[in-house]
Chain A
Amino acid sequence: MELPSKINNNEKSLQQGISPSGNGGLISNSKLTALVVDSDRICQILEKAILESQGVETQVVGSGRDALDLLASGATFNLIIIAMVLPIMNGVETTRQIRAMGIRSKMLGVTACSYEREKQAFLDAGVDEFIEKPLTPQKLASIMREMRNA
């Protein structure tokens, strides 16, 4: 099945490891930018679609390692949306390492689980907020408003 451009562009970006804007990994600062770190394709597509529908330039990676490599290369983002369950290095550990790099972007932890213990672990690792999947346009709009007003 041929996927439409909204899904195909996401797939191409994932394969090439570049920003959808095609600027080689460095996201322009002229609009809000976001990085989605999630290994689930459905969640990647949905989160990217929601972000882009609100005018946010978005890049997607499928693992904690890819996120760290991208950030280490100098890419900067206003917002990082990170899933708890990731291959090899989970979202909590990835968050810790991102914060250890000195990155102060707003971080939103997302998970399909609502156990208090897991939520607290994510917050302790350094996410600013934690939400239960799925991400909704309303929730994102509220975060975007805070960021634009900051």
Chain B
Amino acid sequence: MERTQQHRQVAHMRQSLFDQGLLDEQFVQLEELQDDANPNFVEEVVTLFYRDSARLVLNIDQALDKSPLDFSKLDSYMHQFKGSASSIGAKKVKSECTLFREYCKAGNGEGCMKTFQQLKKDYAVLRKKLETYFQMARQVGPVETACRRK
């Protein structure tokens, strides 16, 4: 009974990530790629995303400190960042990447800086929530809907 309740809590936590607009359908696609041989595929891909994207975040931060701003370079960094963020289903982060690129296109430095500050907050919030979710999911064991047996 307690286990069922724990599973429900994990499922509820997962659903809340979608309801809050933090994740999109792409996250479900990742879950569907999980199998018995790689039961933690999603967590590992997400972990790798945060590991790899840390360098890009730093590059963008440094580029935003320069004067004048190199919008072409900023756009290129964000293009890369958007690609991997969208691959893990990070919906809110992805839309902020798009907004940032629009500010780059318009040569709007202030817009870029404000958007990037928000992006970093949402990126960190998502990371924390996903870490908590994965930790809980591991504790209660596989949820049937998360893994499709092959």
Chain A residues with CB under 8 Å of chain B are: 1, 3-7, 39-43, 45-46, 49-50, 53, 83, 85, 111-113, 133-134, 136-137
Contact with A along B2-24 (1 / 0, CB 8 A): 00000000000000000000000
**Known: A50-B33, A136-B29. Is A4-B38 also a contact (CB below 8 A)?**
yes
- Total contacts A-B at CB 8 Å: 79
Q: Does B135 contact A (CB under 8 A)?
A: no
Residues on A with beta carbons closer than 8 Å to the beta carbon of B97: 112
B1 within 8 A of A: no
CB atoms of A133 and B37 under 8 A apart:
no
Inter-subunit contact A42/B49 (CB<8 Å): yes
Total chain B interface residues with beta-carbon distance under 8 A: 26
Contact of A43 among B37, B41, B87, B101 (CB under 8 A): B87
Is B40's beta carbon under 8 Å from chain A?
yes
Docked pose: A1 CA to B40 CA in angstroms: 12
Does the CB pair A45–B83 fall under 8 Å?
Answer: no
State A49–B42 Cα separation when bound (angstroms). 11
Given contacts A6-B41, A136-B26, contact A45 B86 (CB under 8 A): no
Q: Which residues of chain A come closer than 8 Å to B86, judged between CB atoms?
A: 112, 133-134
Q: Please, could you name 30 A-B residue pairs with CB atoms under 8 Å apart, sorted by A?
A: A3-B44, A5-B38, A6-B37, A7-B41, A7-B45, A41-B52, A42-B45, A42-B49, A42-B83, A42-B88, A43-B87, A45-B45, A45-B48, A46-B30, A49-B41, A50-B33, A53-B33, A83-B83, A85-B76, A85-B79, A111-B79, A112-B79, A112-B82, A112-B83, A112-B86, A133-B86, A134-B83, A134-B87, A136-B29, A137-B32
